[in-house]
Amino acid sequence: MNDHAMTDDHHDHGPDPHPIRRWIMTTNHKDLGAMYLWLSFAMFLLGGSMALVIRAELFQPGMQLVNPEFFNQMTTMHALIMVFGAIMPAFVGFSNWLLPVMLGAPDMALPRINNWGFWILVVALIIIASTLFLPGGAPAGGWTLYPPLVLQTGASFPFMVFGVHLLGVSSIMGAINVIATILNLRAPGMTLMKMPLFAWSWLITAFLLIAVMPVLAGGVTMLLTDRYFGTSFFNAAGGGDPVLFQHIFWFFGHPEVYIIIMPAFGLISHIIPAFSRKPLFGADSMVYAMCGIAFLSFIVWAHHMFTVGMPLAGELFFTFATMLIAVPTGVKVFNWAATMWRGSLTFETPMLFAIAFVLLFTVGGLSGLMLAMAPVDFQYHDSYFVVAHFHYVMMIGATFGIMAAVYFWLPKWTGHMYDERLGKLHFWSTTIFVNLTFFPMHFAGLAGMPRRIPDYALQFTSFNQISSVGAFGYGISQLLWLYVIIKCIKGGPKAPAKPWEGAEGLEWTLPSPPPYHSFTTPPVIHH
C-alpha cells in the first residue's frame, strides 16, 4: 500500500515554549493525542480505585467498610468514569495521534475543535467526579440512570445531567473531526479500501457517535424536565412510562458498546499482522464486518431490557437480531486467527496483548451470545453473569486493545524502546489477575447472585473472594504499567523509524519520534 513517503521538510516550528500555555492552547494532534491518553490513564486509576472499594466490601459477606448508599455511588461512578473517562478518551487519544500519521496528513482536519473537544471533556469529568463531594453524594442509581430511581438522586442530579451533556458535546466534536479528516485528508492514492483498518474502525465509530450521543442527551434532558419542570415522560401517574427511558437509553447504549470496542478491533488489525509478518487476512471482509456490526448495533437495544415485559414479538425479534451479531464478529475473530496461521510469529508485548485480546474477547462474546437468548436471559439478567460478560468484552477486550497499542506505538511516540522484560511481566500479571477477577463472576451469576448488591448470601463467598484478590492484583499491575511508560518516555534504547520488522503503514516511515509537524507535504501512495 505504501512504499516510500516523503517525510517532513524542515520548515516546521516546534511547540509553544510556554509550559502551561502550550498544553492549554495546543491544536497539535500529537500533543492532544498524548493529553487524551494521559487523561484516560488518570481516569483509569480513579475508576479503578472505585472498583477496589467495591471489591474490598465484597470480599466477605457482611458489611465491613462502607454503607449501602456509598456502595451504590461507587458502582455508579465506577462505570461512568471508566466508560466516559477512561476507555472512550483512550481511543480518541489514539485517533488523534495515529490517524494523521497513518493517512499521511499534517494534522486533524479541525485542530481548534480538537482542542475544545479535549478541554470540554476535562470539565465534564471534573463536574461528574465532583458530585462525590456534594450533599447526598454522587448519583447512585447505576450508570444506566433509570427513572424513577434516578429521580431520587440529591443535589448531584443536575450536575450529572450537565456533565453527560458536556461529554456528548466533546464526543460529537471529536467524531466530526475524525470523519472530516478521514474523508478529506488522506494522502493522494489512498483510496478508502486502501486505508488502514484503524482508520476504518474510527470512521465507523464516528458515525455511531454522531448518531447516538444526541439520543442520550435527549434522554437525560427528559429526566431533567421530569424532575424540575413538571413533565411526565417517565411518570405513569402523569401519563408517561418509566420503560420509555430504558428504550431511549439503550438505543444509545447498545451502539455505545460498539463505539467502545470498534477502535480496539482496528488497532488489533494492525498489531497481529505486524508480529505475524503476514498481511491481515480478509482485510475487505474486516471492513464489511465492522459495517455489519455497526448496522446491527442499532436494532438490538432491547436485549438489555428482556425482563421489562415487552410483547412476545419484540422479545423474539431482539433475540434473533442480537444473535446475528455473532456472525460478523466471528468473521473478525477467525480472520485474526487466519492472519496468524502460517505466519512467522514473535511474541513481543504488543503481540501478547493482542493474542490475549482475541481469546478473551471471544470468551466475552460467547457469553454475550448466551445472554442474547431471551428465555435464558431471564436467569442471567441483572446477575453477575452479565457483569462477567461486559467486563470480559470491555475491561479485558477494549483495555487489552489499548495496552497492546500503547506498547506497539510507544517507541514511535517517544523515540525509545520500552523495557521488554517489564512489559511482559505487566502482561502476565495483568492477564492472570484479570481472569481471576472476572471468570468467577460467571459462576456467581449462574448460582444466583444479583448485581449491584453490597452484601451477599454465603454460597457466593468463594467466588467473591477470588474476584477481590484478582482485582487488587490487577490494580497493582497497572502501577507497573505506569512505571514502564514513564521509564520509556525518560529514556531507553533508541527506537528506529520501524522498530517492528513486520509493521506496515505510513507512520513507520517517519522518524521516532516524528517531528512536531509531520507530513506537511503529503506522501504519494504507490501500489
Partner 1 sequence: MWKQNLRAISAILIIWLLAVPALAAPLEFNMPKGVTEISRDVYDLHMLTFWICTVIGAVVFLVMMYSMIRFRKSAGAVPAQFHHNTAVEVVWTVIPFIILVVMAAPSGKVLIQMYDTSDAELTVKVTGYQWKWGYEYLDKGVSFFSTLDSASNQARQLDSGIDPATVDHYLLNVDKPLVLPVGVKVRFLFTASDVIHAWWVPAFAIKKDAIPGTFTEAWAKIDEPGTYRGQCAELCGRDHGFMPIVVIAKPKEEFEVWLAEQKTKQAASLPAQGILAVH
Window 388 to 427, contacts with partner 1 (CB under 8 A): none
Which residues, other chains included, contact 475 with Cβ-Cβ below 8 Å and sequence gap of 6+? 48, 49, 51, 52
CB of 333 to partner 1, least distance (A): 6
Q: Does 184 bind partner 1 (CB under 8 A)?
A: no
| Interface with partner 1 (CB under 8 A), residue from 114, 170, 362, 509 | 362
Closer to partner 1 by CB, 163 or 440: give it.
440
CB of 453 to partner 1, least distance (A): 3
| Interface with partner 1 (CB under 8 A), residue from 183, 359, 476, 479 | 359
367-386 binders of partner 1 (CB under 8 A): 367, 369-370, 373-376, 378-379, 381-383
CB of 350 to partner 1, least distance (A): 15
Residue 75 main-chain phi, psi, to 5 deg: -65, -40
CB of 330 to partner 1, least distance (A): 5
Nearest Cα neighbor of 372 from 443, 324, 442 is 324
CB of 472 to partner 1, least distance (A): 16
How many Å apart are CA 212 and CA 205, to the nearest integer? 11
5, three cell numbers: 513517503
254 is catalytic: yes
Closer to partner 1 by CB, 88 or 471: give it.
471
Cis peptide bond N-terminal to 15, omega within 30 = no
Q: Does 12 bind partner 1 (CB under 8 A)?
A: no
Closer to partner 1 by CB, 104 or 141: give it.
141
Q: Does 219 bind partner 1 (CB under 8 A)?
A: no
Closer to partner 1 by CB, 151 or 524: give it.
151
303 is catalytic: yes
CB 418 within 8 A of CB 484: yes
CB of 504 to partner 1, least distance (A): 12
| Interface with partner 1 (CB under 8 A), residue from 7, 49, 231, 285 | 285
Q: Does 276 bind partner 1 (CB under 8 A)?
A: yes
Instruction: Say which DSSP state 500 is in.
Output: S
CB of 107 to partner 1, least distance (A): 32
Catalytic residue among 143, 144, 241, 455: 143
How many Å apart are CA 394 and CA 408, to the nearest integer? 20
| Interface with partner 1 (CB under 8 A), residue from 52, 90, 287, 358 | 358
Catalytic residue among 36, 97, 202, 258: 258
CB of 197 to partner 1, least distance (A): 12
Residue 506 main-chain phi, psi, to 5 deg: -60, -30
418 is catalytic: no
SS3 label, residue 190: coil
Nearest Cα neighbor of 179 from 188, 161, 192, 194 is 192
Sign of CA dihedral 277, 281, 283, 286: negative
Q: Does 73 bind partner 1 (CB under 8 A)?
A: no
130 is catalytic: no
278 is catalytic: no
**Which residue reads 525518560 in cell numbers?**
490
How many alpha carbons fall within 13 Å on the CB side of residue 266? 27
Q: Does 431 bind partner 1 (CB under 8 A)?
A: no
170 is catalytic: yes
304 is catalytic: yes
CB 93 within 8 A of CB 37: yes
202 is catalytic: no
Nearest Cα neighbor of 266 from 332, 170, 187 is 332
282, three cell numbers: 480478509
What are residue 416's DSSP bridge partners?
494
Determine the interface stretch with partner 1 among 41-49, 249-257, 351-359, 485-493 (rule: CB under 8 A): 351-359
Instruction: Say which DSSP state 200 is in.
Output: H
152-171 binders of partner 1 (CB under 8 A): 152
Catalytic residue among 329, 339, 349, 430: 329
CA distances from 433 to 54, 253, 324 (A): 16, 28, 32
Residue 416 main-chain phi, psi, to 5 deg: -125, 150
Closer to partner 1 by CB, 124 or 503: give it.
503
236-265 binders of partner 1 (CB under 8 A): 236-237, 241-243
CB 245 within 8 A of CB 234: yes
How many Å apart are CA 230 and CA 245, to the nearest integer? 16
State the helix-helix crossing angle for 399-414 and 242-276, rounded to 10 degrees: 50
CB 364 within 8 A of CB 230: no
CB of 260 to partner 1, least distance (A): 22
Q: Does 235 bind partner 1 (CB under 8 A)?
A: yes
The single-letter code of the amino acid at 12 is: D
256 is catalytic: yes
Q: Does 344 bind partner 1 (CB under 8 A)?
A: yes
Determine the interface stretch with partner 1 among 96-104, 131-139, 257-265, 449-457 (rule: CB under 8 A): 449-457
Please compute Rg for the chain using Cα positions.
23
Q: Does 527 bind partner 1 (CB under 8 A)?
A: no
Instruction: Kindly list the catalytic residues.
Output: 78, 107, 143, 170-171, 254, 256, 258, 269, 303-304, 329, 332, 451
